[in-house]
């Protein structure tokens, strides 16, 4: 386990002597244990982003929104809609499970969900849970879980946004209620020319468009039971550049069609709750370039049961059964095995006795491609005060090999085992006067990591060869400063290294920080955001074998909101206020005639850009 730093000791000392009732608005989360809990009572680091937070920030995509959260680093290969690698506590995109309304989504061939393709206008709330939750959700939840709750509009709102690079966005969200029936809907369209995303090749603009539709109907059978049906879909295309293509090629486009359909029944019978859900999802991508066209399709069917019993007021027993079928047979590539069936069963408990809290869960998964896996989660907490809780947790997790890992033509390795993780975390949540603190130190050991390497015959392919260790700390502080200025600050330190050679993992900065300051004057609000990213290794290697080092950078964003009336609101946002030039992802090294490295080509990052939004509420 990590040693407690001087910073952590100072935080612990501060709350050991003085705590009082928090002024924080209580936020509810359902992601941690699949039951409703106050965020402050969950024995893990949890962030909840509400719809009001999204609209106040003026952010135009999920990538921007998530990049402001503690412990999350996002490295984008361009602008809106382009590939965005998500790093949570040093883990890669495939180590964070993305859910929509609590259900698994994403590509079974790549092993993760493309968050850049999720339209922000379809989102009501985002819950971010850090630390392994494989004991609840199974594969992929090694670094954490991001649960996207779809739009639940209480009123009818219409929005229009214009911005830099010919950005255009229009959206409508509404609801209808008649007796026991509630209908919710959202519709949105987004388009932008973006900019040239890759230096040194294929000079052009790489635009993006996304059309989304969301529908949900709920019928209250009785006061304790309801049925529902929901659909969420988005489709569009994104132009991109490839460092493997011809220097003047312009035909690089990815068309996507993502859909999610669910039906369910929920009931409360006394102290027992039941929820049955059936979901069908599709993640489809058609790639068109100078080499031809290819299609990648994941179709996923899920049958899910979750239930819990309130044994006592302070004791809940929970459990669930989950059956999943993944089908990639409609992809262009021919896989030796194109379907995967997984059955998962879990049981757990949440218990509070006096000042002590306990969360414990164990899960068994049976995968017809690689076998079975058992994971567990155990966390204990102690309330030193009503508003200050220490926690200690131990979690295990795993990541199943993807279809590409196992069966991709000419490179798949069907002998692969799942990646595994072992995580310890010590944390504190506390309220000190009007200050809310969440602090955590953690260590996660990854074994059997799947990496690409050459075999004895010189052929490249995936293999279980790498072990890694991620250790770090996170601190989030929310409070009110002088003159009524709201402050939200977070800092994260992560030391992510490859244990086989002791080198740091690429694209992971050791230090990151975000600071948001907001001030309200009657109907006018101004928000300032500062984002710092420390130095980090790139994926580009120098002739010496060492990784090319990427410089640190700091960005300043500015947002403003003005309520003309209860019905009309005008918002504006400026990103990269000081037009900072920086590199987030390196693509290739630049060499002279003597093969000496003289620089590096980057995926371009956005220059200063503006957005103006007008919202009308009916």
pLDDT tens per residue across span 271-303? 999 999 999 999 999 999 888 899 999 999 999
In DSSP terms, which residues pair with 335 in a beta bridge? none
On the question of pLDDT at 328 being above 90, the answer is yes
Tell me the CATH architecture of domain 6-617: Beta Barrel (2.40)
Q: What is the pLDDT of residue 25?
A: 61
- The Cβ-side half-sphere exposure at 266, using a 13 Å CA radius, reads 13
Residue 133, judged by CB atoms within 10 A of its CB (0-12, 13-18, 19+), counts as buried
Phi then psi dihedrals of residue 18, to 5 deg: -135, 115
> Mind listing the pLDDT tens digit for each residue in 598-612?
888 899 999 999 999
Residue ranges covered by each domain of the chain:
6-617
> pTM for this structure?
0.94
Residue range 437-464: mean pLDDT, rounded: 89
Alpha carbon distance 34, 349 (integer Å): 11
Q: What is the pLDDT of residue 148?
A: 97
> Mind listing the pLDDT tens digit for each residue in 229-266?
999 999 999 999 988 888 888 789 999 999 999 999 99
> Mind listing the pLDDT tens digit for each residue in 333-351?
999 999 999 999 999 999 9
Q: What is the pLDDT of residue 16?
A: 40
Q: Of 472, 493, 471, 470, give the one whose Cα is nearest residue 419.
A: 470
Measuring CA to CA, how many Å separate 181 from each of 288, 307, 403, 436, 579? 44, 24, 42, 39, 50
User: Which residues lie below 8 Å from residue 540, measured CB to CB, with a gap of 6+?
Assistant: 547, 548, 586, 587, 588, 589, 600
Q: Are 107 and 87 in contact (CB under 8 A)?
A: no
Average pLDDT, the chain: 92
The confidence band for 181, taking pLDDT boundaries of 50, 70 and 90, is very high
The confidence band for 174, taking pLDDT boundaries of 50, 70 and 90, is very high
Q: Residue 30 carries which DSSP code?
A: -
Measuring CA to CA, how many Å separate 397 from each of 265, 376, 421, 422? 30, 8, 5, 7
The radius of gyration of the chain from alpha carbons, rounded to an integer in Å, stands at 24
């Amino acid at each position: 386990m990590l040693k407690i730093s001087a910073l952590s000791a100072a935080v612990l000392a501060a709350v050991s002597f003085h705590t009082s009732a928090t002024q924080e608005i209580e936020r509810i989360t359902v992601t941690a244990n699949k039951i409703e809990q106050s965020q402050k009572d969950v024995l893990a680091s949890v962030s909840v982003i509400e719809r009001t937070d999204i609209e106040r920030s003026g952010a135009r995509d999920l990538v921007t929104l998530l990049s402001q959260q503690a412990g999350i680093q996002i490295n984008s290969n361009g602008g809106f809609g382009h590939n965005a690698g998500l790093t949570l506590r040093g883990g890669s995109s495939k180590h964070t499970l993305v859910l929509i309304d609590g259900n698994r989504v994403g590509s079974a061939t790549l092993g993760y969900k493309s968050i850049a393709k999720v339209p922000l206008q379809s989102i009501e709330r985002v819950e971010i849970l850090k630390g392994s939750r494989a004991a609840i959700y199974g594969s992929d939840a090694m670094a954490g879980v991001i649960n996207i709750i779809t739009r639940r509009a209480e009123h009818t709102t219409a929005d229009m946004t214009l911005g830099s690079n010919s950005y255009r966005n229009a959206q409508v969200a509404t609801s209808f209620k008649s007796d026991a029936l509630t209908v919710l809907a959202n519709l949105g369209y987004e388009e932008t020319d973006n900019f040239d995303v890759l230096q040194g090749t294929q000079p052009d603009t790489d635009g993006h468009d996304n059309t989304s539709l969301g529908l949900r109907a709920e019928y209250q059978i009785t006061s304790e039971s309801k049925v529902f049906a929901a659909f969420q879909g988005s489709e569009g295309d994104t132009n991109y550049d490839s460092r493997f293509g011809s220097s003047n090629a312009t035909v690089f486009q990815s068309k996507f069609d993502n859909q999610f359909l669910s039906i369910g029944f929920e009931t409360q019978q006394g102290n027992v709750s039941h929820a049955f859900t059936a979901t069908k999802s599709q993640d489809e991508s058609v790639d068109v370039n100078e080499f031809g066209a290819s299609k990648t399709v994941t179709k996923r069917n899920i049958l899910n049961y979750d239930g819990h019993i309130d044994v006592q007021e302070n004791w809940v027993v929970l459990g669930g059964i989950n059956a999943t079928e993944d089908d990639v047979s409609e992809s262009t590539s021919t896989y030796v095995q194109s379907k995967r069936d997984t059955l998962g069963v879990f049981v757990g408990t949440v218990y509070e006795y006096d000042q002590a809290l306990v969360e414990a869960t164990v899960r068994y998964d049976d995968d017809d491609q690689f076998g079975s896996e058992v994971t567990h989660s155990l966390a204990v907490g102690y309330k030193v005060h009503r508003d200050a809780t220490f926690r200690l947790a131990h979690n295990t997790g795993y990541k199943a090999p993807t279809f590409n890992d196992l069966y991709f033509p000419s490179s798949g390795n069907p002998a692969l085992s799942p990646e595994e993780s072992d995580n310890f975390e010590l944390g504190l949540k506390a309220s000190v006067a009007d200050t809310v603190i969440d602090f955590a130190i953690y260590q996660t050991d990854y074994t059997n990591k799947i990496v690409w390497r050459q075999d004895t015959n010189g052929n490249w392919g995936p293999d279980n060869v790498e072990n890694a260790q991620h250790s770090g700390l996170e601190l989030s502080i929310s409070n009110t400063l002088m003159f009524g200025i709201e402050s939200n600050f977070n800092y994260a330190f992560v030391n992510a290294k490859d244990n086989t050679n002791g080198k740091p993992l690429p694209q992971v900065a050791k230090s990151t920080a975000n600071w948001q300051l907001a001030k309200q004057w009657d109907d006018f609000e101004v928000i300032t955001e500062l984002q710092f990213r420390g130095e980090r290794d790139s994926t580009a290697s120098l002739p010496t074998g060492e990784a090319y080092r990427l410089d640190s950078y700091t960005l300043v964003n500015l947002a403003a909101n003005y309520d003309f009336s209860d019905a009309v609101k005008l918002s504006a946002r400026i990103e990269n206020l000081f037009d900072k030039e920086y590199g987030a992802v390196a693509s290739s090294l630049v060499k002279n005639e003597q093969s000496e490295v003289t620089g590096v080509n980057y995926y371009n990052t956005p220059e200063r850009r503006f957005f103006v939004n007008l919202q009308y509420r009916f």
